[in-house]
Amino acid sequence: MSEFARRVSAEFLGSLLLAALVVGSGIAAQQLSPSDVGLQLLQNALATALGLFAIILIFAPVSGAHFNPVVSLVDAALGHRAWRDVAAYVPAQILGCISGAVVANLMFGLPAASISATERLTAPHLLAEVVATAGLVLVIFALVRSGRGHLAPAAVGAYIGAAYFFTSSTSFANPAITIGRMFSDTFAGIAPSAAPGYIAAQLAGGLLGFALVRLFYPSAGQGVRAAQAKAPDPAAALP
């Protein structure tokens, strides 16, 4: 398998596991705590945060572990990745998330695909998706451009886990997972009528996040150089 095919395959499988994680933990939470929505959300968020940390660790050395078209677009716009990769990553991510939702449904004995009836389209939800996606982009690329990319798996997992609660939309922040979640009429699902609005808000959030990254980290290594400039020179203390 070529290096390019390996990267695209990693994005597909990683996206599949992400969707299986989000949808599967949502189904499990719904079954374990049928009368407590708050507890369902906590279970879904905790499983997603921990699982996302592990999935990123697995695939980051291969493809960068995007699993998200917005992240791939910003990565290319910042000059970190070729647009050829993005053109292949995005379909792989979408197909992976749809496949992951199907796998999650089957693991819990549900029909392979069931179109969600959960309506989520409100103005506060759309604002929440802009905020959630912009924050995700800022977390990822602030670390990458300041030489702290090794912290991204933990930081992304922590941010997404927190965003389940501080955003009214429960932080989809990903067009591919939004499409995938249409195919499961369960706790984590989203109605097809709401998906286009969510995706538009996520793209707007990605653009905002890109602008913030360029503002605070105008060049790769910016944060590293700034820290080095402020650090005391050990040689200055020598006689």
Indicate which CATH number applies to the domain containing 61: 1.20.1080.10
Q: What are phi and psi for residue 189, nearest 5 degrees?
A: -75, 165
Domain region containing 64: 3-228
d(CA 213, CA 200): 20
Domain assignment present for residue 132? The answer is yes
Domain assignment present for residue 237? The answer is no
**Which pair of structure tokens corresponds to residue 175?**
């067009």
Query: pLDDT value at position 235?
Result: 38
Domain assignment present for residue 235? The answer is no
Domain count, the chain: 1
- Pick from 10, 165, 35, 159: nearest CA to 89: 10
Query: pLDDT value at position 222?
Result: 59
The position carrying tokens 């004995």 is 109
d(CA 195, CA 192): 5
Query: pLDDT value at position 184?
Result: 97
Domain assignment present for residue 53? The answer is yes
d(CA 137, CA 149): 13
Query: pLDDT value at position 192?
Result: 97
Q: pTM (2 decimals)?
A: 0.91
- DSSP state string for 23-46: HHHHHHHHHH-TT-HHHHHHHHHH
Domain assignment present for residue 233? The answer is no
Q: Residue ranges of the chain with pLDDT lower than 50?
A: 227-239
Domain assignment present for residue 196? The answer is yes
Domain assignment present for residue 234? The answer is no
Domain assignment present for residue 239? The answer is no
Query: pLDDT value at position 220?
Result: 77
d(CA 210, CA 204): 10
